[in-house]
Structure 1
């Protein structure tokens, strides 16, 4: 496995695949037993993985506990990311959830105990609670960093405008920067293309993608009649429910046939080609090994274009309006080449 910087400027190098731990445990009624979790963690480590993603909510704290047991004696070799907002109990009290500072402090302390460590490398705000102002969130996050309990901070499942406001406030106040984002992104879920990904790239944030296989859809196993999250777990699942998703699956399987790779490896290789860190969520070591093999897959430009075209969103306002040649020609006095210079960095 190779390594890449998580965003520009942090200097933090993470493995190109992050190991998600949502299925580390069985308290949700679906997941992996402890022995299988240990096998996955050891396999991931032995193949060069160093980026483990968890949350207090995952398996109601069981995932963090199992990761903490694994980390004993080798903590410094890993970048450990966790999240707060939803709480670690199966039936949480109101005072133990949300983005507020009280829950931030108590959640971080509880995660540290379960992980058996004195710091979390990357703390995500798991999702918006619809109540807490981002200035309050950023001040609380900065306090945890200054206290030495958190190193980097990021946002998961927030709208782009709130993350950009948080990043700007932090920059103006001299607080800890927003280093990365986490969003649902895959060949069957590209809504983040509209606002979230352009925002993250403009602010030089690292980009991680959860459910990179569309909850198992992109493995092709449901076409084969196999069971999985869609048949057993039933949450955050994609189905071939639209003509476009059916087309995406057709193209993924076509490219898989051309390369001799599995469908899941093609879907992950496409994400890696976008400079995004997929957070894989295996339930078995066999699934983990299949996912890691994606790191050796090199798609041709034609294959990437084929996947891009099948999965692309229809443009919406203002993107479609701004793409109208009339506007660009008008601004350029009839010759866009005179006005625009090619740049690798998006306009802020």
Structure 2
């Protein structure tokens, strides 16, 4: 698997990352082990988790696997803090004291002395930004994190964090983890330009449009799935958006033309967008992950990429595009 550099960090990562949000929830520990083994065997090295995934069980499982299944040195490990609690609705606390305490808990669950990328999971309106950045400084200076990144920040929040960090002469931030797919291109308005300006690598989550781009809902949503709390909360908004059907059909057409599954088309599109370092692919089962890994190196022909760009194009107007006075 080809590698890319993560922002300013100098860290080389595979251009497809492994997400672990289902570990400790819908994914058994045996399947977690199979996923990690298959991913590393395919040339992957970027694994993303968080303090809240599975109420901490994701980190615990990953820690055990790094002690007995895959060598720690083969993995670039990312985790997160800010969100607190074991299940929704999560609390939010980006104060330095809480962040550093959460990092200690993460390291204990992982059984490690450091993580490679420590990410701020969400902006906290109730904590001064300087306090949050102070925690990043302490984590890096103490050797408990090699570099740091942001998650789910808006464009202005991303710019403010990067600018403040530079102004204080502290280590530069390296990444921004955000939702990005053919069905969710909102980051192109403000976040992507900010990331590009400050040299931050983009790590897209939900690159398959929360599963919608696999085509599994093309013929409707099964009643038992449509009524599920997970579908209502996580999938419905994208699945029933005005342009989703047209995008999914274009993905399916391209997949048929190339002789690959739709997920390969969707994944390849986002993987090679400007500024993207590595989309994070999560899977409930090892078999689902293998389907993504099988097409991880697919390159889309320019004409197919253009069609996908056009059918999924987000609205960009004032002020994202320069305003001019014609008269």
C-alpha deviation, 1:247, in angstroms:
0.8
Structure 1 segments, 4+ long, off by >3 Å, are: 90-94, 224-232, 323-327
CA gap 1:45/1:229 in 2 versus in 1, 3 angstroms = farther
* Aligned residue number for residue 332 of structure 1: none
TM-score by structure 1 length? 0.86
Give distance in 2, aligned partners of 1:166 and 1:278.
22
**SS in structure 2 of the partner of residue 295 of structure 1:** coil
Contact map agreement 1:82 1:120 (CA 8 A) in 2: yes
Under a length normalisation based on structure 2, what TM-score does the superposition of the two structures give?
0.92
Deviations 1:90-140 (A, max 9, x none): 48996xx41111210110000001111000110110001211122221111
- Tell me the CA shift for residue 319 of structure 1: 2.8
Instruction: Give the one of 84, 100, 109 matched to 2:104.
Output: 109
1: distance between equivalents of 2:226 and 2:54? 18
The aligned runs of 1:282-297 (5 Å cut-off) are 282-297=283-298
2:197 corresponds in structure 1 to 202
Query: Which deviations, in whole Å up to 9, do the C-alpha atoms of 1:15-36 show, x marking residues without a partner?
Result: 111100000112xxxx111111
In structure 2, what is the equivalent of residue 5 of structure 1?
A: 5
Correspondence 1:20 to 2:19:
yes
Where structure 1 has 5 or more consecutive residues not aligned to the other structure, the ranges are 328-348
C-alpha spacing 1:231/1:63, structure 2 compared with 1 (3 Å): farther
C-alpha separation between the residues in 2 aligned to 1:240 and 1:136?
A: 38
In the other structure, the counterpart of 2:273 is 274
Q: In the alignment, what sits opposite 1:302?
A: 303
If asked which structure has higher relative contact order (CA below 8 Å, sep 6+), I would say 2
Kindly tell me: are residues 16 and 32 of structure 1, through their superposed partners in 2, closer, same or farther at Cα, counting changes over 3 Å? Answer: same
* Kept after mapping to 1: 8 A contact 2:97/2:135: no
Q: Deviations over 1:145-173 (max 9, x none)?
A: 11111111011011111221111111121
Measured in 2, the distance between the counterparts of 1:19 and 1:195 equals 26
Is it true that 1:80 corresponds to 2:81 in the alignment? no
Any idea what SS the aligned residue of 1:123 has?
strand
Matches within 5 A, 1:233-272: 233-234=230-231, 235-237=233-235, 238-272=237-271
Inter-CA distance 303–24: structure 2 relative to 1 (3 Å threshold): same
What are the residue-to-residue correspondences of 1:7-156 with 2, within 5 Å? Answer: 7=7, 9-26=8-25, 31-72=26-67, 74-90=71-87, 97-156=92-151
Aligned to 1:337: none
Name the Cα RMSD after superposition. 2.1
Contact 2:179 2:206 in 1 (8 A): yes
Tell me the residue number matched to 2:166.
Answer: 171
Distance 1:35 1:99 in 2: 34
Q: Distance in 1 between matches of 2:112 and 2:225?
A: 31
